[in-house]
Structure 1
Amino acid sequence: MTEQRIGIIDLGSNSVRLVVYERTASGAHRVIDGSKRSARLSEQIDENGVLPDEALDELVDTINHFRLICAHHRTGHIRAIATAAIRNAANREQILFRLEAETGMPIEVITGMQEASYGFLGMINSMNIQDGFLIDIGGGSTEVSLFRNRSLVNAVSFPFGCVSLTKRFAEGGLLSDDRLQELEMHIAREVGGESWISHSPGLPLVGIGGTVRALGKIHQAVTRYPFESFHNYTMTDKTTEELFHLLRSQPLDKRNRIPGLAKDRTDIIVPGLTILRTLFKIMGASHYLVCGSGLRDGLFFSTRFPERPKLDNVLEYSVNNLAALHPEAPRQHMAQVSRNALQLFDALQSGYSFPEQSRSWLDTASTLYRIGASIDYYDYNKHTFYLIVNSHINGLSHKETLLCAAIASFKSRNRARQQAAAYKPLVSEEDLSLICMLGSLLQLAIALDRSETQAIGRLRIEHADGKLLLYAAMAEGSLVVERKEVDALASDFRKLWGIAPVLYPPDYR
């Protein structure tokens, strides 16, 4: 299979973005390039609803620049979409004619409902969440959706965004008490016609788009959060209120120095957060969740998988995709190790009160334990930990990602403790014990296929006299390599599990 590349150009109301996705020869998908240019299209629309020629000049230049980047990557398919600013412009047809004539690029103007649908698809394919609200605060529109059982139930696109409301209510990015009250009342009036928004209290509010990402980044910077990812980051109503009032109280020159806040968002962040907070209150939502995926990801999935764009299992897809990005590890060996690990877990877990997701974490760790060899086989454990932590596996919380990384790279309790120390307070002493137990179980599963020949066709497991008896019921050869490996780790395994593994050859009676 040859490499295939898809380019997505998003002509947003606040910024214009490019993302280039690649399908590798091993079947994995990844982003290989991306670019962003501030546009502020909503801000430039005049009192007659017209986007002026000066704005179009810059837009043409940006699209042609992005096309050159795509050409450099030999991108086979480019999809360019336009949202609220162009969708609602009075001179929309002239805009599209000029853009297509001067760039050679057909532009799709998507409706507000399509924007909501693509945003939902990007989010639901990157998070393990069943029910909630979704909000996408753009420069010129805001999409709100309700989903149940991972399916879209209701959606609406409101004709306001952080750029358009800044222009109307917060000239220069400052929002007085009176103007804040006017803005909140304006949003409430616009939302009032959609009664379903207030009829499902207690659900999380998932946010996509620059406003919510900025909120997560600022909070992580303020609290010195130890995990470097804002995707799947949780925030409370109280925390958000505190940050909002801090930001609103700052003049732009001081706000500009707040860690985590990009300079091109300094003036629009407060009106954007006003939209977020007002809708949160109307919904009666339980908490905020920051999502790093969104519209462009939804467009990718709908383009790459037009028949079935929504994933059935987010975690499974993400783990298998990451494994395929590092194909140096033999797939048959990895599959055998995973089978061994899960069989061992099923045989031993009844005597312990493991967390509900422990089996899934072990499955993830066993599938990925050797990806670090793509950097360097020697000390690949260390590289595996780094790759798992920094690949941001979808379907896992930050804590779960750390647990899986530590289990996959486990060598000893001391090393696991050193890894966990950098991520306090996300990883507790109780978590450390779980890492050691599941990590040692994975080491045993690896030992059972140390020759990487899948010599053991079927394994029978029994307990007797403080021993974990492993019978190779169906096997090829005497399993000399595997037996030595199991014997070598038996002592450490017994310290953690209270039972020592012994592997018997297939001819044992």
Structure 2
Amino acid sequence: MSTSSRSEATKEYSSSEAAPPRIVAVIDIGATSIRMEIAQIGAEGRIKPLSRLVRPVDLGKDAFTSRKFQRKSIEQAVKILKSYQQALLEFGIQSPENIRVVATSAVREAANRLQFLDRVYIATGLQIDSIDEAEVNRITYMGIQPHLERDRELSSAKAVVVEVGGGSTELLVVRGGNVLASDTYRLGAVRLAEVLETLGAPRSKRRAIMENRIGQTVAQIQELVRIDMRIELIAIGGDIRFAAHHIHPEWDGSTLAKLPISQLERLTNAVVDCDQDEIVRRYGISFAEAETLGPALLTYLQLAKAFELKNIYVSNTNLRDGLLHEMAARDSLTAEFRNQIIRSATTLGRKFDFDEAFAKHTAELASKLFAQLREAHRLESRFEVILYVAALLHEIGNAISDRSNHKHAMYIIRNSELFGLTRHDVLLVALLARYHRRAFPQPSHDPYGTLQLDQRVIVSKLAAILRLAIALNASRSGRVKDIRCTTERNRMVIQVPGVEDVSLEQLAMRQNRGLFEEIYGKAVLLRSGR
């Protein structure tokens, strides 16, 4: 891709204008606590923490046992959020664009999560984003990346970033700033604690039960993380931060703490051998923190031993830090995430032996069309990357069969993980691949028919553009390198500079332009560069 072309395709992903200072807040509704951080975002995205609040909740216990929030737990959460609203007012934070409220696994898994979300909105006016695993991993990367960039030793290794939460364990594998893999496992400290309580396990048996459960997940992680080079483990989460402060009381959290495995093991043994009352008395923490401390530390310890590490690193980074970095970055770092998403999609394509050169050139043409047709489609810039990924992957169904390869592509994409894309985003990519040829989108089609009207329109608009990009690359030679789109008497004219004979592309365009003409109401004409 040329410099000028790359600039055109990604100009929406950077901004030279310095944002004025603003005060923002992020609230994280987790399994065991609701945490809020208030910060000032200054020039060049600098973040200055102003206030941190944390209150314990029982949402995880409800969600991971009965899969339903009890009324008492819901009202407990509402009361906490109302108290946080008072703090927001004191800092003058009122605009919704300066407040981000997210919920993770506990809310995702509760059968009555919609009632919970509605109750919170009615009581407080706060809208909660129930973020999925892919978005958690993306936000985690946003928070941890600055540490990796500052440490040459870590950036040259394969960094395994792990957070053992209440309901799940999140994993990122990063090397040189590139995300190699990401996954989520249904292993969490609250889940483990609930297993012990359900089984009524005596103290003498608790460790063996936990190690058995943890070992199953550790084995899966070992399969994902190939030991083909030096591995470094970076742990995040409240429980491992407690361990870091206990082992290194002088640690201020501004850098990564390096914990010897021998010292972590001694602390873990001491915690696991105590009951909750003893943990609270000995370490001065709350009962909610005491419940998860042992299971979480044991998980980190077993993972470090599985990779035969002598030390692990601990980061003070958390989900809220990632959210703040995201709010501070606005468009300036979106280009980097775009690149990470594309790398993840390219990796998926290679698994199915796709024609990489053809796919990338088609994707670049789709981006050019998206940029030049902005007044026609009027879509947000974030949909460009969804179109790009769909163009990359639209032919991977050929790995199953040439016949109905568009449907096979949809199936593969829907059942794959793409870093940085939410499950809904992945569904949109899958549908675009489904409609890159053959039938136009129809409400009777599943899952297209299940989408809301605005999402169906987005799929149709993008699929129409994708078909034009495929036609422009009909020769599969990459000879169409630039395009210019203009409007003439209700016709959309695409001119191809530098290519005199476009008869093959014109034939393909006549076959592919129908959806565009139906959606945008304009005839499509392709002209050579003469």
Q: Which range, TM-score by smaller chain?
A: 0.5 to 0.7
Counterpart for residue 266 of structure 2: 242
CA distance in 2, matches of 1:51, 1:27: 38
Q: What is the deviation of 1:46?
A: 6.8
Sort the Cα spacing of 1:43 and 1:200 in 2 relative to 1 into closer, same or farther, 3 A. farther
Residue 282 (1) aligns with residue 306 (2)? yes
Counterpart for residue 438 of structure 1: none
Sort the Cα spacing of 1:311 and 1:236 in 2 relative to 1 into closer, same or farther, 3 A. farther
- Which of 248, 251, 268 matches 1:220? 248
Counterpart for residue 136 of structure 2: 115
Unaligned segments of structure 1, at least 5 residues: 313-509
Q: Which amino acid aligns with 1:135?
A: V
Sort the Cα spacing of 1:284 and 1:116 in 2 relative to 1 into closer, same or farther, 3 A. farther
SS in 1 for 2:316: coil
Q: What is the deviation of 1:301?
A: 1.3
- Which of 52, 57, 65 matches 1:39? 57
- Conserved 8 A contact 1:217-1:230: no
Unaligned segments of structure 2, at least 5 residues: 1-18, 337-530
Aligned counterparts, 1:301-312, within 5 A? 301-309=325-333
- Conserved 8 A contact 1:173-1:270: no
Counterpart for residue 96 of structure 1: 117
Sort the Cα spacing of 1:217 and 1:52 in 2 relative to 1 into closer, same or farther, 3 A. same
SS in 2 for 1:204: strand
CA distance in 1, matches of 2:254, 2:329: 27
- Which of 169, 172, 185 matches 2:212? 185
Aligned Cα root-mean-square deviation (Å): 2.8
- Which of 23, 33, 36 matches 1:18? 36
Identical amino acids, percent of aligned pairs: 20
CA distance in 1, matches of 2:99, 2:214: 36
Counterpart for residue 341 of structure 2: none
SS in 1 for 2:281: coil
SS in 1 for 2:331: coil
Q: What is the deviation of 1:38?
A: 0.7
Counterpart for residue 236 of structure 2: 208
Sort the Cα spacing of 1:13 and 1:182 in 2 relative to 1 into closer, same or farther, 3 A. same
- Conserved 8 A contact 1:125-1:310: no
Counterpart for residue 105 of structure 2: 84
TM-score (norm 1): 0.55
Q: What is the deviation of 1:105?
A: 1.1
CA distance in 2, matches of 1:87, 1:239: 36
Residue 197 (1) aligns with residue 221 (2)? no
Aligned counterparts, 1:56-67, within 5 A? 56-67=74-85
- Conserved 8 A contact 2:257-2:314: yes
Q: What is the deviation of 1:234?
A: 0.5
- Conserved 8 A contact 2:20-2:43: yes
TM-score (norm 2): 0.53
CA distance in 2, matches of 1:215, 1:136: 14
CA distance in 1, matches of 2:45, 2:304: 40
Note the alpha carbon deviations across 1:222-281, whole angstroms, 9 max, x for none.
xxxx55447411011111111111222234443323357555422321111121112223
Aligned counterparts, 1:437-476, within 5 A? none
CA distance in 1, matches of 2:251, 2:286: 19
Note the alpha carbon deviations across 1:123-152, whole angstroms, 9 max, x for none.
122452313111111111110111100222
- Conserved 8 A contact 2:163-2:236: yes
CA distance in 2, matches of 1:23, 1:73: 13
CA distance in 2, matches of 1:311, 1:259: 44
CA distance in 1, matches of 2:138, 2:79: 29
Sort the Cα spacing of 1:87 and 1:27 in 2 relative to 1 into closer, same or farther, 3 A. closer
SS in 2 for 1:45: helix
CA distance in 2, matches of 1:200, 1:257: 44
Sort the Cα spacing of 1:133 and 1:101 in 2 relative to 1 into closer, same or farther, 3 A. same
Counterpart for residue 52 of structure 1: 70
- Conserved 8 A contact 1:45-1:52: no
Runs of 4+ in 1 over 6 A off after TM superposition: 171-175
**Number of matched residues?**
308
Counterpart for residue 270 of structure 1: 294
Note the alpha carbon deviations across 1:196-217, whole angstroms, 9 max, x for none.
2353564221111101101111
- Conserved 8 A contact 1:209-1:294: yes
CA distance in 2, matches of 1:92, 1:262: 26
